[in-house]
Copies of this chain bind each other. A is one copy, B any other.
Amino acid sequence: MQAVANLMTGGSSGPKYLTGDKSSIDGFIDKFDVFLFDCDGVLWSGDHLFERVPATIQMLRDKGKQLVFVTNNSTKSRADYKKKFDSMGISANEEEVFGSSYSAAVYIARILKLEPPKNKVYVLGESGVEQELQAENVPYCGGTDPLLRREMLPEDFRHVADGSLLDDDVAIVLTGLDYHPSYLKYALGMAYLRRGAKFLATNIDSTLPSAGSLFPGAGSTSAPLIKATGQEPLALGKPSQAMMDAIEGKFQFDRKKACMIGDRLNTDIQFGIEGGLGGTLCVLTGVSKKEEFLEKGAQVVPSAYVDELGDLLG
């Protein structure tokens, strides 16, 4: 049990509260060369930027730290994210952003490496997924195609059943958060899966925090395919270690000198702990509450925590 406890706390004896403790903060930051940031709930909540975030990011840059922004949001591409960083006044470049759509596109293009032309991806999701597939030269269909945002007609049942509405080159079904679900899109996804397509997901978060409440997440909008086929997708966002492997592959760093910063224990902090990072830092501006990791028997415990990211300025 001791080994497990150590694993789950990233090797330390318990979470250290850093807010207001200047020397502990400096010691914590000095331990790491690389910081992986979750975005929503850490840097901002929707369109609301948390205080002192741009200055905190700048402080870390001034100390020469490598920064990577790791997000499960599949609706935005890295280019979309760059625009959001700019609008928030946070210095970042596109290469530093690692989204679940990008993670999925990299996995498909560089790990699965299916032979063309039988390498097409049927997308249940938004343009973020499409843009990242395009950037990796992976062919796709579905997605934001307006022809699929229509009513299921009686003849569609026949044409899905006899395969005439299906694309013979589809070998993968990839689901992300889809703001435009339709019965036709689900019927097509189900037909491809029943025909043997691989089932991937950018992420399977059940909820999406927005406007101070919770909405259906990517795991919920893809749930009809899971229920209808009895198959579970391979999820490529946090906490999947496929995403950590892809990040390490791209940025080449020593995991022991890297720290994951996030607001969700069961995605961000678990992602860092399972990835064997040197540390994890929980901020209390998002989903998880400190009671969840301070209580006895807590399953996922960060190495340290602060009230908000700006507290790292001391």
Mark A residues whose CB is within 8 Å of B: 46, 151-152, 157-158, 160-162, 178-183, 186-187, 190-191, 194, 206-207, 210-217, 219-221, 223-228, 230
Q: Which of B152, B180, B225 contacts A151 (CB 8 A)?
A: B180
Q: Nearest residue in B to A219 (C-beta to C-beta)? A: B227
- Give Cα A212–Cα B161 distance, bound, in whole angstroms: 7
CB distance from A203 to the nearest CB of B (A): 13
- Give Cα A212–Cα B194 distance, bound, in whole angstroms: 14
Q: Which of B161, B180, B228 contacts A207 (CB 8 A)?
A: B228
- Give Cα A219–Cα B178 distance, bound, in whole angstroms: 19
Q: Nearest residue in B to A191 (C-beta to C-beta)? A: B213
Known contacts A220-B224, A223-B226, A227-B220; A213 and B161 CB within 8 A of each other:
yes
Chain B residues with CB under 8 A of A219:
227
Query: By CB atoms of chain B within 10 A, which of A46, A214, A226 has the most?
Result: A214
Chain B residues with CB under 8 A of A190:
214-216, 220
CB distance from A148 to the nearest CB of B (A): 13
CB distance from A151 to the nearest CB of B (A): 7
Chain B residues with CB under 8 A of A207:
228
